[in-house]
Amino acid sequence: MSKKPSYLNFNHREYHWKPDVDYRLHPELYRVGKGEQGVLICEPYKSEIGQYWRFKTKEIAVESSDKIFSLFEDYIQKEDFVGADMARKFLQMGFTRARRYYNYKGGKKYDAENNYQELERGTGDPEKAAAAEVFYAKWKEAEANSHYAEMKKAFKKEKG
């Protein structure tokens, strides 16, 4: 039995994060969620952070993750939990996407033309493994930030 990608049955109406909400003006509508949920939807953060998100090579990943981590720290300083959480999600996504491109040629895990069978692992770009390591370190550094952890706990208690 093959596991099909979750995006095939994605329900946009029930997805909590909405593209037409300004989450800086309405942080009460934001949810932390699991992993990277909402990262490519929540504005204005998606545009502010996403423009720097790159992982083609280790050198590019270093520059990208440093800039995103700097934004993370700026959001923390401004007491903007949503911004900090979104920056953390972009760092996490840098790791997961670079690993996907390392594991699978072209970053594609499923074969859409063959009933979404999972493609062979180990066919991707080895350079992406180094990029993934860079993002992993910055993601974990963000998660280890004590002020971020306090803000996250308070946000989840207050807003969910």
Tens digits of per-residue pLDDT, 64-106? Answer: 999 999 999 999 999 999 999 999 999 999 999 999 989 888 7
Query: Can you give the residue ranges of every domain in the chain?
Result: 13-159
Angle, alpha carbons 56-15-30 (nearest 5°): 80
Give the chain's radius of gyration (CA, Å): 17
pLDDT in tens, 101-128: 898 887 777 777 787 777 777 777 889 9
pTM score, whole prediction: 0.87
Banded model confidence at residue 1, pLDDT cuts 50, 70, 90? very low
- Closest listed residue to residue 129, CA positions, set 147, 104, 148, 146: 104
Mean pLDDT for the stretch of residues 53-60: 96
Helix-strand-coil split of the chain, %, nearest 5: 60, 5, 40
